[in-house]
Structure formats: C-alpha cells, structure tokens
C-alpha cells in the first residue's frame, strides 16, 4: 500500500515539474508538497505495516452458549422467573440488615485522629500553657493567618501575650500543628463552628484556650493514637 502511494506522489511531482517553469521557487514548492505527502502517508500508524488488525490487544468476548442450554432451563427462566427471584433474594437480604445511616447530629460517625478541624491551644495537666512562643507556627503558616506576640517572664521563660488566628484565612493544612515542638497548637475534631458574623472567626488567645479545655480528652486521645506513626 505504501509503495503505491509513493509512486503516485512521484508521478504527481513529475507532472508538475513538466508543466511548471524551471525556477527555484517552483521547484521548492513541488519539493515541499512531496515531503508533505510522504509525511501524511506515514504518520497515521507507528509501523509501516498499516492499521492494526481487528480486536488488536483485546481479549475475545465470551458468549453464552445458548444452543447448549437445556430446554427445561429455558422454560424455567421464562415461566418461573428465576432470574427475577434471584434479584428479589438479594433485595430482601439487604432489606432486613441494620441500616448504615446514623441520626446526625445526635449520632456521629468515627473521625480520623488526623482530622483537621477547629484550632485550639492546649495546657499541661498542671494548668500551665504549653505554648513557648517559639513562633514556628506563625513562620510556617502559608496563609499568614497566625499572629503572635510574646514577652519574657520573671523566671526567664517566654509566654505569649497575644495569639490570634484568622480562621477566614486558614487553609487547614495542619502545618502549625506539625511544627509545634510541645503540641500546643492543635486542630480539634470539631467541624461545627459556623458563625453569623465574620468577626466571630477571628480567634484570640482566650478563645483558643477555651477550645483546648473543651476538647482536651479528644485531643489527647488523637495524639496518642497517631503517635506510633510518627
């Protein structure tokens, strides 16, 4: 197939050369047409063997041997509706199983220990704040949603005087929690904190500490569950 196409293209070029004036421009046009024709002939397939055969690289579909099926089986399927009975059996089997749904919000499903929800600041069991004002969370936050101000205490330790999070900027990436060396700033399993105004989503230190006191049992359990994978 391919040699025949090449031959016809060559004959076309010869005719154009015989009828066209012997100028450089006309020869260049004819040569370009010949190259384009050769490229069009060969670019359709990856090999010069032509198109692949039918069902190339596909398995042959198996057909049900209807001619080998017994007549009694055919009559049973037609009159007794055995195929419909099979479908009804599956339906009734699923009908009497316990439901998969839950009565949300009175019932809630399990949540991953790595769930990233509302932010919170944790305390030590003694009641002392965990945050040491290292500002790693503020530095790593890609949305620049955290603002921290700190001062040095009389004993030489550093504690925060201001810890604000703009929840409207937060992208819940969890970088603040990952960078904290003392597990102070965490993301709680709470995802239900919708507000009526934008200002209510500007969390200060008192709000974050209150969230930590409220969700401390869940936060501690989530950290313990995730600790073996760290």
Q: What is the pLDDT of residues 63-108, one digit of tens each?
A: 766 667 777 777 777 777 878 888 899 999 988 888 888 888 898 8
Q: Assign 5 a pLDDT band (cuts: 50, 70, 90).
A: very low
For the whole prediction, is pTM greater than 0.75? no
Class (C level, CATH) for 119-229: alpha beta
Q: What is the pLDDT of residues 199-212, one digit of tens each?
A: 999 999 999 999 99
CA distance 45 to 154: 81
**Number of helices followed by number of strands (H, E) in the chain:** 7, 5
Among 4, 5, 3, 1, which Cα is nearest to 40's? Answer: 5
DSSP 8-state symbol, 219: H
C-beta of residue 147 within 8 angstroms of C-beta of residue 138: yes
How do strand 146-152 and strand 202-203 relate by DSSP bridges? unpaired
CA distance 167 to 85: 56
pLDDT at 84: 85
């Amino acid at each position: 197939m391919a040699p025949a196409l090449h031959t016809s293209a060559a004959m076309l070029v010869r005719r154009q050369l015989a009828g066209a004036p012997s100028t450089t421009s006309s020869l260049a046009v004819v040569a370009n047409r010949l190259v384009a024709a050769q490229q069009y002939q060969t670019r359709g397939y990856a090999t010069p063997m032509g198109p692949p055969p039918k069902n190339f690289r596909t398995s042959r579909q198996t057909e049900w041997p209807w001619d080998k099926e017994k007549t009694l089986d055919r009559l049973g399927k037609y009159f007794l509706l055995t195929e419909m009975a099979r479908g009804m059996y599956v339906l009734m089997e699923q009908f009497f199983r316990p439901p998969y749904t839950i009565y949300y919000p009175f019932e809630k499903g399990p949540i991953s220990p790595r769930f990233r929800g509302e932010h919170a600041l944790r305390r030590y069991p003694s009641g002392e704040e965990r945050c040491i004002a290292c500002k790693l969370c503020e530095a790593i936050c890609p949305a620049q949603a955290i603002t921290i101000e700190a001062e040095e205490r009389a004993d030489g330790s550093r504690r925060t005087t201001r810890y604000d999070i703009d929840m409207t900027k937060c992208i819940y990436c969890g970088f603040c929690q990952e960078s904290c060396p003392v597990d102070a700033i965490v993301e709680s399993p709470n995802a239900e904190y919708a507000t009526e105004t934008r200002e209510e989503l500007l969390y200060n230190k008192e709000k974050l500490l209150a969230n930590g006191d409220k969700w401390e049992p869940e936060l501690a359990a989530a950290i313990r569950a995730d600790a073996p994978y760290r």
